[in-house]
Amino acid sequence: GTKPKVEDRKIPFSTVFETRDTEEVGFMSVVVTGVVGIERTTTTYTLNQSTGEVTANDPVVEMVQGVRNRIESRGTKPQVETSVIPFETVYEEDATMLATDPEVVVVEGQDGEKVVTTTYRMDPATGEVSPDEVTEQVKAAVQKVVKRGIGSSTEITYETTYISNVELPLGENRVLTKGVKGRRHPNGSVLESAVQEVVQVGTKPTVETETLTFKIVYQDDATMLATDPEVTVVTGREGKRVSTTNYSLDAKTGQVSPQEPIVVTTDAIDQVIRRGTGTEASLPFQTVYLSALELPAGERVLVTKGQTGVRHPNGSVTKEAVNEVYQVGVKPVEVIETLPFETIYQEDPSMSAKDPELLVREGLVGQRVTVTRYSLNNTTGEVTAQNPEIRETPANNRIIKRGVGAESSIPFKTIYLASSHLPAGDKLLVTAGQSGVLHPNGSVLKEAIAEVYQVGVQPLVVTEELAFQTRYEDDPMMRKEDALVLVQEGKLGRRMTTTSYKLDEMTGLVTAQTPVVETVAAVDRVMKRGTGQDEAVPADRIYIASSSLAAGEQAVAVAGKSGLRHPNGSLLQVPVTEVVQVGVRPVVVETELAFNTTYQDDASMLATDPEVVLVEGLTGKSVQTTVYTLNYQTGQVTAETTEVVTPAVHRLIRRGTGQNETLAFKTNYVASETLRVGEARVIVVGETGVRHPNGTITKEAVNELIQVGVRPTSRTAAVAYVTDYVADATKPAETKTILVAGVPGVRTYTTTYVMNDKTGQVTAQPETSEVTVKPVDELIQVGTAPSYRQEEVAFKTRYVADPDKVAASQTVFTEGVPGIRTYTTTYVMDKAGQVTAQPETAEVTRLPIAEVIQVGTAPTYRQEEVAFKTRYVADVTKKSNSQTILVEGLPGVRTYTTRYVMDGATGQVAAQPETAEVTRIPVVELIQVGTAPDYRQEAVDFSVIYTADDSLLAGEQVVDVEGSLGVRTYTKTYVLDEQSGQAVAQPETSEITTAAIARQVRVGVKPKVEVESLAFEVRYEEDPKMLPTDPEVLVQEGVAGTKTTTTTYTLNIQNGEVTADTPSVVLVDPVVKIIRRGVGQVSPIAFKIIYKADDQLEAGQKVEDQAGKEGVRHPNGSVLEEAQDQLIRVGVKAVVIETKIPFEEECIDDPTMPEGTTLVVEEGREGKRIVKKTYTLNEETGEVTEVVTEEEIPAVKRVIKRGTMKPVEECPVVPAVDCPVPTAASPEVKVLPETGTESGATLALAGAASLLAGAALVKKKEED
């Protein structure tokens, strides 16, 4: 067959992308559909009719269908987002306003607007749409400006007037009218006028009572003990001294001054007491000792505590002596000593010195018992030890057998094994030889291990290469510059010579054998080379819209490039379509719109109040936007314009048209106990207040205060005294004596008055009374001495047990003595002084002494024999069930004791139940029984352990340890039955006494790893937020990829076989290296002008502290260079002007003062008028506003009293002070300000009169 062979190859088309600014992002449309090209290759064949061979002719390549690229459009319409920028509220601090004053809105706030427009760009290669540039248009918010006060009001102090009150405690103050400080507004106006404080001061008389203690007089009595109760002969009574102090008040300062005190004294009555000075005499007791078997020898127990008797100084025995009784221990002492056994060693040459020692017989300790008994001396209490009794049991020695024989060595053999893995003649030690060990009894403790070597017999192979030749064939379907095509690969020939080796296993010597030679011929290499030429293919052009270019401006996004066709018809280089970007960037034009100003009248503000800006004016804006559309076939651009208008905000200002309102004052009344009833005095003069039209009070009204007299009136009456009675236990009953005579007291009746606070009317209150001088009570002493009688008290009998005497025997130890009981009749006096006898009482004045009788309670004894026990012990060194007596048995002794108990009430003795105690312990018989075990042995096989080794090649094996057999020993043991003494055989047990050594083989499983490297790509990104001069930014580092193929192996640990696992391929894709570079530009930052107030500069003066300078902003928004604000200080220094106001003088005639004398009642003080100019700064514009405030402090008149009283006799005239004549403009002064107390003014007048009288006496004396 010679049918031509036809092969079609598809040539894929490319996709070209264009932008469409009128469609939303995400829009996609196919503008031109792509067409796949088809390249057809036809190969014909020629038949050799002679040989029948078919030969292929050169293939023919042709383009059946051309390639047409696919064109897609992507939406890149800009996105516009509008957000509101809320306005901020800025507060201006005003020192001429209070913090509590209503805030004043200077500029009304208005929200701003932020419009963010995002444009998009498309990647011409991938069609991916991404954000390109974000632009912001900001309409700034207008700040709301509010003025608030930071000024502080200043205090206006008030005056204080003091009035006396005898009902209040001394020095205590009670405020009738609370003084209120006035407040002055920071603008100088009075917010609150000061209110005078009126205080009542306590002048209640002080009464101090001093107690006069009575004295105690003692009478000594030698017939009474010092501890006997004291007897009161005369009861003492305290006296007292009462001191009353009255006080006067200084009405101006509030100081209280004491007057001379009034003192009344009542004397004290001394108390007379009789007490004892005699002493008691002592009566000694005797000491008695009794023996006790239950107490340790020499130990004493007090049975009855000895007590000394007591004799009263009047001769009577108040307490009998009691004998002291002790029980003394005579309990026998038993001392048990342990007698140790010795250990005897027997040497055995058939045992190794390392063998464990063998116990032949266990040792047993012996015992020595020593008993010591004691006797008691009943008179002295001494205890004497008797001769001790000794009982002894000997010890049994311990016998141990130990080895003295020595172990001997067993030599090892050497074995040689041939290895084809080792070079000829090389040796490798497989198992090191170890000597064996022979026990002195002839048994093998450790077998010798042979030393094993592997000896190399690896064949020696020598290979020689035979070279091949290269032949070339011409091909017109290939270009000359095409690479040569390999038709047939050349192969080298080879000559290989092999020499093998043989091992002598006895000596380890290696011998070389006769070499073997093999030859393989070389194959020639055939190469094909080209003789044809390439053909050019033309490129197409398309248009795409770009929002980054001005309308109609064109820029080539992708340059067109012709293609290239191979002489065999295939495309070597596909033609690149030229892509042209056409500008459609929108154009925006803004125009500003001005605002108007409107005024609003407010009746709640004064015409003089500052105007308030309710709404601040804002300019409007008109924005015209022109967008463009592209014709994608011709590249032509069409325009379309729209307009958006933001209206202006008009300015609104509020101004005042209101007036102030006058506030009336009230009249208050306060009571005064220093003024006569109904007398009135004006303390504070009333003043009207002022209310602002907005409702705030700019000046408070001052209420008028009038003082009205309510001084109390009083009268006195007598108070009767009381008669008291006191008992005297030293005098006979019903005798009476007057100790203190009675004196009557004084009661004072007082009438007080109450004032109506609203009308000032005074009303009398009900009369009250108080004892001002207390009466002295009468005191009478009445006798109440007691009477006595006596009788005898019988004694009791007491029984004491004596364990040393025969049971039930009795002996009188202490004789009994009767006691004495005394009966007493006492007397009681009532409040009227009457004496009554009380019921008779009894008391034992001498205690009876009990009679003590000793009763015998000595115990009785009997004994019997105690049988011994037999104990069996195992001996593992002797044959099973053989017996040896180690210790002979010995019976013990049990003692039975009968004890007696005495009844302490009757002295009767009763026998107790008999008790038993082993007094000699029986010795246990000890028999040794043999329990030596039986033994037998058998061999144990070794195992083979295969271990994977990832350092060896797959399948390679290395023997680390050769295996050896072990030994298992079977043992039959015996257990002793300690009851019967029989050795009982136990089940046979086994254990491996010599462990088998496993054969350990390492098998290679080393993985096979092949790694192939994959190169990475470099890509650049343009960033409008970076400058071209900024260093390029490595966004992502390029990393080469890898293709790793790993083949692992698995070991079968049972048989040592190695199996290859499925290869694993790990692909690590290369990471594209991305570099970002800048295309943006810098923008300027405007500086601010900041005005700051300076109270050191004159008003309006300006000083520049810092010049302004524009900053620089990076396209990424960061500030490269900060703008420097312009700082200007503006002067706001305040100006204060003060003008003095002189005071006037006023004279008042006083008919109580001598003619020609004067007295300055109140000193005059100058007033002053203060004008203050302060300035405020507008920190936005730097403008200074002046605020003027005025304050006037009125002058105080100088008031002078002058005398008009004519003198009785001629006397020197005191020079008068010149006074102005009162005019009609200076009206009456009803009440003068108080400059001291009433008594102080009277003393001043009296002093002046005394001066005149003294001068007259001098003149009369000169005439005489």
pLDDT given for residue 1220 in this prediction: 45
Q: Is residue 1235 pLDDT above 60, yes or no?
A: no
Q: Is residue 1210 pLDDT above 60, yes or no?
A: no
Q: How confident is the model at residue 574 (pLDDT cuts 50, 70, 90)?
A: low
Phi and psi at 1032, nearest 5°, equal: -60, 145
pLDDT in tens, 1178-1192: 888 888 888 888 888
Q: How confident is the model at residue 8 (pLDDT cuts 50, 70, 90)?
A: confident
First to last CA, the chain: 196
**Radius of gyration (C-alpha) of the chain in whole angstroms:** 70
User: Which regions of 354-469 does DSSP assign to beta strands (E)?
Assistant: 358-361, 366-372, 374-376, 383-385, 389-393, 398-405, 408-410, 414-423, 427-431, 436-438, 444-446, 451-458, 460-466
Per the listing, tokens 């509220």 go with: 89
81: its two tokens: 């987002």
pLDDT given for residue 852 in this prediction: 80
Q: Is residue 1262 pLDDT above 50, yes or no?
A: no
pLDDT given for residue 943 in this prediction: 80
Q: What is the mean pLDDT of residues 63-83?
A: 85
Q: How confident is the model at residue 1226 (pLDDT cuts 50, 70, 90)?
A: very low
Q: Is residue 1234 pLDDT above 70, yes or no?
A: no
Q: What is the mean pLDDT of residues 730-735?
A: 76
Question: For strand 797-802 and strand 851-856, is the pairing parallel, antiparallel, or unpaired?
Answer: parallel
Which residue from 1137, 164, 1050 is spatially nearest to 674, judged by alpha carbons? 164
Q: Is residue 858 pLDDT above 80, yes or no?
A: yes
pLDDT given for residue 1258 in this prediction: 35
pLDDT in tens, 1027-1048: 888 888 887 888 888 888 888 8
Task: Report whether 278 contacts 220 (CB < 8 A).
Answer: no
Out of 155-169, 676-690, 1248-1262, least confident range: 1248-1262
Choices 3.40.50.970, 2.60.40.420, 2.20.230.10, 1.10.10.10: CATH for 586-658: 2.20.230.10
Task: Report whether 834 contacts 788 (CB < 8 A).
Answer: no
**Whole-number average pLDDT of the chain:** 81
Q: What is the mean pLDDT of residues 125-134?
A: 86
DSSP state of 1142: P
Q: How confident is the model at residue 1251 (pLDDT cuts 50, 70, 90)?
A: very low
Choices 2.20.230.10, 3.40.50.11440, 3.40.50.80, 3.40.50.1980: CATH for 1135-1263: 2.20.230.10
Q: How many whole angstroms separate alpha carbon 431 and alpha carbon 453?
A: 7
| Residues contacting 497, CB < 8 A, separation 6+ | 461, 462, 463, 515, 516, 517
Which residue from 1072, 1231, 1084, 1239 is spatially nearest to 1161, judged by alpha carbons? 1231
DSSP state of 878: S
680: its two tokens: 């009135």
Q: How many whole angstroms separate alpha carbon 518 and alpha carbon 496?
A: 5
- In degrees, rounded to 5, the angle at the alpha carbon of residue 1139 between the alpha carbons of residues 1134 and 1141 is 150
CATH number for the region 1008-1078 comes to: 2.20.230.10
Out of 319-328, 1017-1026, 1143-1152, least confident range: 319-328
Q: How many whole angstroms separate alpha carbon 612 and alpha carbon 522?
A: 114
- CATH 2.20.230.10 applies to domain 5-77+534-583: yes
Determine the 3-state secondary structure of 1246 from DSSP.
helix
**Residue 432: count of CB within 10 angstroms of its CB:** 10
pLDDT given for residue 1222 in this prediction: 38
Q: How many whole angstroms separate alpha carbon 401 and alpha carbon 343?
A: 11
Query: Residues of CATH 2.20.230.10 domain(s) within the chain?
Result: 5-77+534-583, 586-658, 860-930, 934-1004, 1008-1078, 1083-1131, 1135-1263
- Tell me the sheet residues that pair with 76: none
Q: How confident is the model at residue 1208 (pLDDT cuts 50, 70, 90)?
A: low
DSSP state of 44: -
pLDDT in tens, 213-264: 888 888 787 777 888 888 776 778 788 887 888 888 887 888 888 888 877 7
Q: What is the mean pLDDT of residues 1067-1095?
A: 86
Q: Is residue 507 pLDDT above 60, yes or no?
A: yes
Q: Between the CA of residue 1171 and those of 187, 607, 1137, 1194, what are the distances in Å? A: 11, 21, 5, 14
**Residue 233: count of CB within 10 angstroms of its CB:** 17
Q: Is residue 1243 pLDDT above 80, yes or no?
A: no
Q: Between the CA of residue 54 and those of 48, 49, 783, 941, what are the distances in Å? A: 6, 9, 177, 75
- In degrees, rounded to 5, the angle at the alpha carbon of residue 261 between the alpha carbons of residues 259 and 263 is 170
Choices 2.40.128.110, 3.40.50.10190, 3.50.50.60, 2.20.230.10: CATH for 1083-1131: 2.20.230.10
pLDDT given for residue 1230 in this prediction: 33
Which residue from 732, 727, 847 is spatially nearest to 787, judged by alpha carbons? 732
Q: How confident is the model at residue 1228 (pLDDT cuts 50, 70, 90)?
A: very low
pLDDT given for residue 1131 in this prediction: 92
Looking at the chain, the whole-number percentage of residues with pLDDT higher than 90 is 0
Give the largest Cα separation in the chain, rounded: 205
Q: What is the mean pLDDT of residues 437-462?
A: 80
Q: How many CA atoms lie within 13 A of 1194 on its CB side?
A: 3
Q: How many whole angstroms separate alpha carbon 212 and alpha carbon 209?
A: 10
Which residue from 146, 1187, 170 is spatially nearest to 614, judged by alpha carbons? 146
pLDDT in tens, 400-433: 878 888 888 888 878 777 777 788 888 888 778 8
Which residue from 228, 290, 310, 281 is spatially nearest to 849, judged by alpha carbons? 310
DSSP state of 1178: -
Which residue from 518, 513, 466, 522 is spatially nearest to 497, judged by alpha carbons? 518
Q: Is residue 470 pLDDT above 80, yes or no?
A: yes
CATH class of 860-930: mainly beta
**Residue 316: count of CB within 10 angstroms of its CB:** 12
Q: Which CATH architecture has domain 934-1004?
A: Single Sheet (2.20)
pLDDT in tens, 283-326: 888 787 777 777 888 888 887 788 888 887 877 777 877 778 78
**Residue 884: count of CB within 10 angstroms of its CB:** 13
